[in-house]
Amino acid sequence: MTEYYRQYLAVAVFIGAALGMVGAMLGAGRLVRPHRPQPEKYITYEAGSDPVGGWGQSNVRYYIYALLFVIFDVEAAFVFPWAVHLEGLGFYGLIEMAIFIVVLAVALLYAWRKGVLRWA
Amino acid sequence: MTHLLAVDIGWGWTLAIKTVVVLGLIPLGALILGYTFLLKMMSHMQSRLGPMDPGGFHGWFQLVGDGMKFLQKEDIMPEQADRRVFALAPAVVVISTFLIFVVIPTGPRLVVKDLDVGVFYALAVSSLSIIGVLMAGWASANKFALLGALRAAAQLIAYELPLLLAVVGVVVQAGTMNLNGIVTAQQNGAIFGWDGLGNPYILTQFVGFALFLVAAQAELTQTPFDMPVAESELVSGYMVEYTGFRFLFFFIGEFGTAFAFAALAATLVLGGWALPGVHGGTADLLGPLVLFVKLMAVAFLIFWVRFTYPRLREDQLQAMAWKYLIPIALANILVTGLFKVWL
């Protein structure tokens, strides 16, 4: 196994460790906690009254924020490698990134003017 | 200490030891923050008498009592719930918190794995918790939980961007994403030719630091950005159906991530484990302590704001991220880049 993969092995080990801790704590809790099932305990909580309807519904206006997010998140993925190598790239790199950011800023401005950012 | 660290016991054992240490460290960090700030500082600032009472001196027993209470709670899963997703959701949040700690350096060699993409990786895995929150809200089959989870998702993705973009300024200055590299760059830096203190980036990246703190506040869903858990309207949002230890995992996730973000901010702009004039083995020895002091200072700021401000409205929250923080962060990147190329 090369050093590169060995580094990310640590990440995998940590996922396992987290799952192990969650499992161990829940397992240990099982030994101590009471278990007295009553049907009323398993009703969905709705501030004390009987639950109405079944599963809730979500509001569709959230999806536009998700779309905006994807655009800017991809941008962030581009900006980081640029940031690391800026010293070598010099003014050429800076102007390139300035154009890229201005284009994105215009897109944000467009969304703003279109009223996408208004929460109503 | 130098000799102890110099012993080579093979990467497998090293990794095992580091994993166990960090495994203990995360709940401990969450407890320290919960105890110092949530119980004691909040009690003093808001004149709360309850948490100051148990056990006598300053209510030192409160947290132990809370832990015992969680241990004794019955494990209830609503019958409408999607059982598998419901059970997995807290684990996803805890995994996300654990993974951040892989890259946080507490000394030149005291780091689990010093990944080259360090800070980028840390921010990427920290956003995994959004998935856990959405899973919890959806699987609970509860209207409060679903509303809370959707608010949380909208908030976390909106503030993910200022968080990421605020860090770019530091990366530009240091020329690396590796966290140890960023610390060394600050240690070896100079303020206008004077290198007595190194160059902690808070001097040049104060805008980035402020953006990072505001975004971290929102990512951690601390007041004034706590609409997802707003107890007076959503009765704790996505956590409403969770009891006992399953609820405790969300608590560990929240405060463990606060610990990690404070450590990250301290590493990025306050010089991390570095102390002026301390190098080599001594830095390994003092590093954890130095970093702890710095991260507690950052955590103090986060919780000070939390205990002082009232909750924002949902539309104000979104407007703040998109109309102010992101444009400022973009400008900060360009200005930092200009100085980097120019000077």
pLDDT tens sequence across A103-118? 888 888 888 888 777 7
pLDDT of B7 reads 59
Cβ A72 vs Cβ B161: under 8 Å: yes
More confident residue, A72 or B214: B214
A78 touches B: beta carbon within 8 Å: no
Specify the pLDDT at position B212.
92
Cβ–Cβ gap A65/B141 under 8 Å: no
Partners of residue B194 on adjacent β-strands: B191
How far apart, in Å, are the Cα atoms of A75 and each of A4, A47, A70? 26, 43, 9
Structural domain count, chain A: 1
Residue B191 pairs with which residues in a beta bridge? Answer: B194
Query: Tokens in use for A32?
Result: 């101590």
**CA B205, B211, B214, B220 torsion: positive or negative?**
negative
Read off the pLDDT of each residue in A24-34 and give the average, rounded to a whole number.
83
Q: What's the domain range around A58?
A: 3-113
Percent of chain B whose pLDDT exceeds 90: 4
Which residue did the predictor score with more confidence, B75 or B94? B94
The number of residues in chain A equals 120
Residue type at position B260: A
Chain B residues with beta carbon closer than 8 angstroms to that of A26: 75, 245-246
Distance between CA atoms of residues B153 and B129, nearest Å: 10
Nearest to A43 by CA among B12, B240, B138, B237: B240
Which of B 58-97 lie inside 8 A of A, CB atoms? 71-80, 90-91, 94-95, 97
Rounded CA separation B51/B39 (Å)? 6
Number of H helices and E strands in chain B, helices first, is 14, 0
Q: Tell me the C-alpha distance between B239 and B235, whole Å.
A: 9
Query: Which of A44, A91, A117 shows the shortest C-beta gap to B322?
Result: A117
Confidence of residue A12 (pLDDT cuts 50, 70, 90): confident
Strands (E), chain A: none
Lowest mean per-residue pLDDT among A70-74, B5-9, B109-113, B221-225: B5-9
Question: Looking at residue A14, what is its pLDDT?
Answer: 85
Give which of A5, A33, A57 to mutate to test B binding, by max B Cβ within 10 Å. Answer: A33
Q: Mean pLDDT throughout B310-320? A: 82
| B112 and B202 Cβ atoms separated by less than 8 Å | no
Residue in B with minimal Cα distance to A43: B78
Tell me the mean pLDDT in the region B161-169: 89
Segment B79-122, tens digit of pLDDT: 777 888 888 888 899 899 888 888 888 888 777 778 888 888 89
Please give the single-letter amino acid code of residue B110.
Answer: L
Which residues in chain B have their CB less than 8 angstroms from residue A15's CB? 95, 98-99
The yes-or-no verdict on residue B211 having pLDDT over 50 is yes
Domain ranges of chain B: 76-342
The band of B19, judged by pLDDT with boundaries at 50, 70 and 90, is confident
CA distances from B186 to B10, B124, B177, B270 (A): 31, 23, 13, 8
Is A118 a domain residue?
Answer: no
Q: What's the CATH number where A43 sits? A: 1.20.58.1610
Contact B141 A55 (CB under 8 A): yes
Residue A54: predicted pLDDT = 63
Mean pLDDT for the stretch of residues B39-65: 80
Residue B179 burial (C-beta neighbours within 10 Å; 0-12, 13-18, 19+):
buried
Mean of per-residue pLDDT scores for chain A: 80
- The answer to whether B158 contacts A69, with C-beta atoms less than 8 Å apart, is yes
- Give the range with max mean pLDDT: B7-16, B193-202, B321-330: B321-330
pLDDT of residue A55: 64
Provide the 10 A C-beta neighbour count for residue B338.
14
pLDDT exceeds 80 at position B145: yes
Helix, strand or coil, per DSSP, at residue A20 = helix
pLDDT in tens, B193-204: 777 777 788 878
Average pLDDT score over chain B: 83
Q: Is the CB of B240 less than 8 angstroms away from the CB of A45?
A: yes
Question: How far apart are the C-alpha atoms of B19 and A18, rounded to whole Å?
Answer: 10
Q: Is the pLDDT of residue B184 over 80?
A: yes
- Partner-chain contact A87 B171, CB within 8 Å: no
pLDDT beyond 80 at B232: no
Q: What is the DSSP letter of A4?
A: H
Q: Could you report the per-residue pLDDT of B27-50, keeping only the tens digit for each?
A: 788 788 888 887 788 888 888 887
Q: Which of A30-34, A44-48, A59-63 has the lowest mean pLDDT?
A: A59-63
Residues A77-102: tens digit of each pLDDT: 888 888 888 888 888 888 888 898 89
On whether residue A120 sits in a domain, the answer given is no
> Residue B1: is its pLDDT beyond 50?
no
Q: What is the pLDDT of residue B3?
A: 47
| Pick from B75, B120, B337: CB nearest A33 | B75
Q: Among candidates B284, B242, B257, which has minimal Cα distance to B97?
A: B257
Contact assignment for B74 to A34 by CB distance below 8 Å? yes
Residue of B18, B85, B101, B161 to mutate, interface with A, max A Cβ within 10 Å:
B161
Q: In whole angstroms, what separates CA B284 from the centre of its chain?
A: 23
Residue percentage of chain A with pLDDT more than 70: 90
Residues of B in contact with A79 (CB under 8 A): 165, 168, 333
A108, two tokens: 């944000």
Segment 7-46 of chain A within 8 Å of chain B by CB: 7-11, 13-15, 17-19, 21-22, 25-26, 29-30, 32-36, 41-46
Span B238-263, pLDDT tens digits? 887 888 788 888 888 888 888 899 99
**B-chain residues near A19 (CB < 8 A):** 91, 95
Helix (H, G, I), strand (E, B) or coil at B312: coil
- A18 located within any domain: yes
Mean pLDDT on B303-328: 85
Determine whether the interchain pair B333/A30 forms a contact, defined as Cβ–Cβ distance below 8 Å. no
- First CA to last CA distance, chain A: 55
Does the residue A26 lie in any domain?
yes
